[in-house]
Amino acid sequence: MGREQYLRFCRQPGIFSESALQLTFTVLRKPRPALALMIQNAMNGVAVKRPPDGGDGSLPEHFKMRVTSSEADTIVSCLVKASGWNSGVCPGQQVILKALLDDWRRLANAIDDKLVAFRGY
């Protein structure tokens, strides 16, 4: 897989960069420690294989997350609370949290779409 294919692959729902998972872990650590542990375990697992020309550190490590629909919904809920206007985070952090929230929402929607297709609705 070349660099461009890798980057395209990493934009799929369920593929997260290490920094995105680290921020997710930080948000979940206090309100949902079991989910935070699951995120941490994923970061300690096997990363998506990077292309040979991306091993110089210019491409961040990415990990595939496998979560249930309810876990994805809980993560989205925690991120919504953390990125709210009354959450006390600075505007720059709010932008980052909202982008992360969008990534987790895409995954939750993809899971829901698969369930709908499986059930034949």
Q: Which domain holds residue 59?
A: 3-119
Total residue length of the chain: 121
What does the pLDDT look like over 26-82, one tens digit per residue? 999 999 999 999 999 999 999 998 888 755 667 889 999 999 999 999 999 999 988
| Confidence at residue 32, expressed as pLDDT on a 0 to 100 scale | 96
Percent of the chain whose predicted confidence (pLDDT) is above 70? 86
- Counting the structural domains of the chain, the total is 1
Residue with tokens 């020309």: 53
Residues 6+ away with beta carbon under 8 Å from 40: 25
| Confidence at residue 58, expressed as pLDDT on a 0 to 100 scale | 75
